[in-house]
A and B are shown apart, each in its own frame.
Chain A
Amino acid sequence: MASDIARPAGTHGVQIEHPATSTGLPNMKLAMWLFLASDCLLFGALISTYVLYRGSSVVGPYPSDVFDIPYTSVSSFVLLASSLTMVLALAAIQRGDQGRMRIWLLATAMLGMTFVGGQVYEFTTFFKHDHLSLTTNLFGTTFYVLTGFHGTHVAIGILMLLSVFGLSLGGRITQDKAETVELIGLYWHFVDIVWIVIFTVVYLIPTGK
């Protein structure tokens, strides 16, 4: 399958050999960067919506009524820590250490799941205790949709991590497939960085109400 007769740039190649593409970047990596750039605008539009409607709710509860900043700080820290384990997973497979990679991949997925679990718990508390639903007010509407979108991104990331973990158990993720791990890493770091923005904009900047 990797036996292209015409090796030059014009052929699409298998990534493991990093064929000479016109830019020198592997296709998948370029594609991932483009996708992430596009995704930036998705979050940009969602965050803009949130910011635009900050303080516009006509009934409570308001952000200051529901947020538990220390709690969310901890779960944010957990998510950020997962970026570190992700880096370690990539470093492991680049060395060809499949065992370590599996450990770090699993750790990353676990940390991600802890974050999502924390988010689910947070949502449940807001909903049950503070009576903030998707339809209560503009705050509920914008908050749940923005953080929900982010949570979905994290969940998709976890799915990918676990898939690669599964493939790796079957011995399919070898050193020459390190790019697969690298791509998921790119996505994962992106999702983390977006969370830093969301956490700052939504939780840390006070709204007054």
Chain B
Amino acid sequence: MASVSVRAGGGGGRGLLARPTATDGFWSWFTTVDHKKIGILYGITSFAFFIVGGSEALLIRLQLARPDQNILKPSVYNEIFTMHGITMVFLVVMPLSAAFINYLVPLMIGARDVAFPRLNAFSYWVFLAGGLFIYSSWFLGGAPNGGWFGYAPNSVVDPSRGMTFYAIGLIITGIASTVSAVNLAVTILNMRAPGMTLFRMPVFVWMSLVVQLLLAFSLPIITVGLVELLFDRRFGTHFFDPAAGGDPVLWQHLFWLFGHPEVYILVLPAMGIVSEILPVFSRKPLFGYQFVVFSGIAIGFIGFGVWAHHMFAVGLGPVANTAFGISTMIIGVPTGVKIFNWLGTMWKGDIRFTTPMLFAVGFVAMFVIGGLSGVTHAVVPADYQQTDTYYIVAHFHYVLFGGAIFGLFGGMYYWWPKVFGRMLNEKVGKLHFWMMLIGFNLTFGPMHILGLQGMPRRIQSYPASLGLDFWNLVSSIGAFTIALSVLIFIVNAVSSFRKPKGMEADPWDARTLEWSTSSPPPEYNFEEVPVVHSLDELWRRKYAETEGGRVVPVVAGGSGTQEHLVESPRHGGGHGIHLPGPSYFPVLASIGFPVLGYGIIFSWPLAVAGVVVLLTGLYGWALEPSAE
């Protein structure tokens, strides 16, 4: 099926390359356009980057474990903390969320794939290319060293090549995210199964939609900032050059106009995941579904109006500081609404503390802390003290680790049986959760104190005389506890593959459509496209409510296995369903970007080669004949 038909030349044409046909085996992963496989690719890649970014965090904590240490010299330390930030934001939480969104959204809305399958593959490969491009800087003259926030003019005047890699690399991953945002937004808006109205969509799908729109509208802004930074560094322009009349603060506006929506891009998918997990294990619908949805939308909107709260100390003046302080307080309201609704979901439930549920509850508990410390930043004069200290580091790790990462791990435990057809071990999972929770609080809890006691961020070392040793040591011990818990997860994940495949379709007695198809789902997702009648469609198929509000199973057996609800293959395993064929071109075209990037840094002929590769890929793609 030529879903990208605008470029498709029609069935009769000949492409540059014969279209690949294999849908399994090692090489099929390079040409796949199946949203589930691409989701898994995103997951594996971002987890690999998680290990790398986590190792960088351990190096940071090693260096800061004791005062006056010099395990990492300043130049290396600066590269490490910069790469830690870039990695965790752009190469871990964003793509790990993308893994869930890619895999689950079509299943949850009853679609067979995303709107543009090849474009989806392209997004993944461009993201991977961008990530590898940034990391290749370690071997090509030094990694980025100006912080993930890359404040000009420091990021411009730095003589090493790192920040050029930063600018180009983030433009590349930004292209990947923009393309994917358009694709997924169209998927959610346009590909819903019959009856799947917007307000019957699972909250995770809603949050995914908000995130795609945030990406589509915030990424262009940072792209312009990065282009200006790149031009300043590479071509000697004056965007952020105060000597020529430029204003370094412009960079900060462009960066945070993207950077703050980015925070919600990172955390909303996890909020969506938690909104799926809590109802299932409380055996109750989400409390106040519409309020949760609207608060998510509100967060998305207001998220564009709070950026300057990252800049209270810049000197924007009392009027601007007041405005942004108040808008920041306002965004606390919809966030609070979500928390209360999650509590309401658990209230009067029948709560089963499985591993995914533990992570979801852990998310709520930790996110409350991050939210409350966030409110203290909105108190501008207090923020004059807190800004750029470890108090901030504590705050955003409670949001992005205690929040996003906990939610994403919960999602992994929850959907693992769906994706791989095997359960993760519950006991090991619980050990993982508790170690991670304790390690996390040991690491980041003390940072609140350190920040208030005068420890600035991004310092390579601190003297013993500041009296900060104890909490720094505690924090470092905590970091290694987290590392151990991640190791436990890896063991759990790997050993899950030693179990035989063959998980039932709906092991958790869940509520949404992805659990109505087999585990793992067939390539075509659903034998027949489901027709949706209500929110929590699958649950409605399984249970009915009496007039007195008592819940009774629709069929004998009630909870647990619902084999009969899984569409049995009536057409002999999906024959006759036409799926988009695999393609070489997304991966080919994606290679053009890093080549162009190296070209801009090292040699113009290489840049031209990059453009040629890109165009070849795109034209081959446009002219590619359909699979049949």
Contact = CB atoms under 8 A, between A and B. Distances in A.
Is A in direct contact with B (CB under 8 Å) within the complex? yes
Contact of A42 (B113, B223, B257, B628): B223
B5 interface: yes
Interface stretch (A63-71, A108-116, A132-140): A132-140
B202 to A, nearest CB: 15
Interface string B522-560: 000010111100000000000000000000000000000
A45 B251 CA distance: 11
B475 to A, nearest CB: 38
A14 B3 contact: yes
A57 B246 CA distance: 8
Contact of B238 (A2, A3, A41, A141): A141
B235 interface: yes
Interface string A14-32: 1110000111010110110
- The majority secondary structure among interface residues of chain B is loop
Interface string B206-245: 0000000000111111011101100100011111000111
Interface string B1-26: 11111110111010000000000000
Given A1-B11, A15-B5, A58-B244, A27 B237 contact: no
A195 to B, nearest CB: 17
A41 B228 contact: no
Contacts of B528: 6
Contact of A134 (B185, B220, B231, B580): B231
A95 B91 CA distance: 48
A94 to B, nearest CB: 15
Contacts of B496: none
A37 interface: yes
Interface string A42-78: 1011100100110011100000000000000000000
B191 A22 contact: yes
| Interface range for A | 35 or more
Interface in B355-409: none
A134 B244 CA distance: 13
B9 A31 contact: no
A196 interface: no
Contact of A27 (B186, B218, B223, B531): B186
| Interface range for B | 35 or more
A30 B238 contact: no
Contacts of B183: 31
A52 B244 contact: no
A91 interface: no
Given A38-B220, A45-B224, A22 B190 contact: yes
Contacts of B245: 53, 56-58, 137-138
A194 interface: no
A22 B192 contact: yes
Given A38-B182, A42-B224, A180-B6, A10 B109 contact: yes
Interface string A132-173: 001101101110010000000000000000010001001010
Given A6-B577, A145-B237, A179-B6, A38 B178 contact: yes
Interface of A: 1-6, 8-16, 21-23, 25, 27-28, 30-31, 34-35, 37-42, 44-46, 49, 52-53, 56-58, 134-135, 137-138, 140-142, 145, 163, 167, 170, 172, 177, 179-180, 183
29 contacts: A1-B628, A5-B576, A5-B577, A6-B528, A6-B577, A8-B194, A9-B193, A10-B529, A12-B1, A12-B112, A12-B191, A15-B5, A34-B186, A35-B182, A38-B219, A39-B220, A41-B217, A41-B220, A42-B220, A45-B223, A49-B228, A52-B247, A56-B245, A134-B235, A137-B238, A138-B238, A142-B239, A145-B228, A177-B10
Which 6 A-B residue pairings sit nearest by Cβ, starting from the closest? A42-B220, A45-B224, A10-B529, A10-B193, A21-B190, A56-B245
